[in-house]
Amino acid sequence: MCQVNYQGFGSKTDVLDELYGAVGKGIFKLAVVGETRVNYLFRQDEFIVQHIGIYLRDTYDFNSDSTFEQMFPLGVWSKSRLLSKAEMTVYMLMYNARENSKIAEMFPSLVPVFNDDFRRYQKRHQAGGDFVVYSDVMWLKVPAGMKTPMPW
């Protein structure tokens, strides 16, 4: 097995939606299926791609030494909701300025959750952990007429 190409996606400034909430930053990878043959005219082996598989690989880890990760946590949560990124920016500016009374007024019952909070939870409850997630593979058939020789 080897890796040739991948495409990262996502950034800390993306809109907070289901994909960002579940993945944040991730990697789309490609897998290919095909057959090899000898091209006698050019005296070389070729690989003919017949199917392309696309899948997501993402790591869920809770390690961070960056100031950005510490300033903008895993989210600002209550039992009933999560702040949007715009709301979280306002919250964290007030949080860092120690404006607790304003926070309590504007964002009652909401608290920031940091990577360290999760690490403490893991240690206390002996549960949770870092892991890698792979999506299902979406296979695409390369049209029969499409030539995709790859000389070795």
pLDDT in tens, 72-111: 577 888 888 888 878 888 898 898 889 999 999 999 999 8
Instruction: Spell out the SS3 assignment of 16-69.
Output: CCHHHHHCCCEEEEEEEEEEEEEECCCCEEEEEEEEEEEEEEEEECCCCCCHHH
Q: What pLDDT shows up at residue 64?
A: 64
Spatial CA neighbour of 61 closest among 4, 149, 131 = 131
User: Two tokens at 13?
Assistant: 């400034």
Across the chain, what does the average pLDDT equal? Answer: 80
Q: What pTM did the predictor assign?
A: 0.54
d(CA 14, CA 10): 7
> In this structure, what DSSP letter does residue 82 have?
B
